[in-house]
Amino acid sequence: MKQALLVVALAAAACAGAALAVEAQESVDKAKAAAFDNRMFAGPPGAKAYACFVRRYDANHLAQHPKQKVSAMKLLVAAEFAPEDKTTNYSFRLGVAYRHRPGNFDSSGYCNHAIPTESGHEIRFECSVDCEGGGITVALSKDDKSAIARLGRIVVWNRNKPDDDAGEALLAGADDKIFRVDRADLGECAELVTDRKELAALRHK
């Protein structure tokens, strides 16, 4: 079932995400994009690289943010060089748990480098689950120890019900717009990976 979830999410992202990612990536200065990659993956990504970020919100934080729906978040960002295209492709996987309902929810899609208009200089990853699946942007804290995930709307799937029609939207409410998730060991994000070969590669990093 979990594997079916990944197929559903990636199939949705494949509708338009790959073409949009390449187009947007070419519009960003290559040196700045490479510098961002070095920060994200703690060095040049090479053939394949991962970065894992995790946050479990404690009772004190949730009490201070009573409208926050998310109680835990995991974010895995990946880069993989495609020799046939001579380019690096970027992707993300997101896992969330809610504070007032059971279950674990996932989403995934493609990313590209982008410079948000409000800052004019900061590079982020713009990540999307296309076919109207929404998405997130991913920036880094100044010390590179945390990722800053911003969302407006993103479709997530319950891991136990990964059917096409089981997706639901996580919307940015008053306390669910910006998430600071802390860099963690790659093993913390292993549950977001379903492909056995990729899981083995992740665990050997």
DSSP strands (E only) in 48-191: 48-56, 70-82, 87-98, 104-114, 124-128, 134-140, 146-158, 168-171, 178-184
146-158 vs 48-56, strand pairing mode? unpaired
What is the model's pLDDT at position 160? Answer: 78
Eight-class DSSP state of 185: -
The neighbour count for residue 115, using CB atoms within 10 Å, is 18
Count of beta carbons in the 10 Å neighbourhood of residue 116: 14
Residues in CB range of 174: below 8 A, 6 or more apart:
67
Domain layout of the chain by residue ranges: 15-204
Q: At residue 200, does pLDDT exceed 80?
A: no
Residue 6 has pLDDT above 90, yes or no: no
**Whole-angstrom Cα distance, residue 93 to residue 110?**
9
What is the pLDDT confidence band of residue 120, given thresholds at 50, 70 and 90?
low
Per-residue CA distances from 25 to 90, 110, 145 (Å): 10, 12, 24
- Average pLDDT (87-94) is 96
8: tokens are 């559903």
pLDDT tier, 9 (very low <50, low <70, confident <90, very high otherwise): very low
Residue 120, phi-psi category: left (phi > 0), alpha (psi -120 to 50), beta (remainder): left
State the Cα–Cα distance between residues 95 and 54, nearest whole angstrom.
Answer: 9
Helix (H) or strand (E) holding 63: helix 59-64
122-150 residue pLDDT tens = 899 999 997 789 999 999 999 999 999 99
Q: What is the pLDDT of residue 179?
A: 96
9 vs 171, more confident: 171
Cβ atoms < 10 Å from Cβ of 92: 24
Tally Cβ neighbours within 10 Å of residue 34: 14
Give the pTM. 0.83
pLDDT tens digits, residue range 19-71?
Answer: 344 344 446 889 999 999 999 999 999 999 999 999 999 999 999 999 999 99
pLDDT of the residue at 10: 40
Separation in Å, CA 109 to CA 117, 142, 164: 22, 25, 15
What digits encode the pLDDT tens for the residues 147-195?
999 999 999 999 877 666 668 899 998 899 999 999 999 999 999 987 7
pLDDT at 186: 95
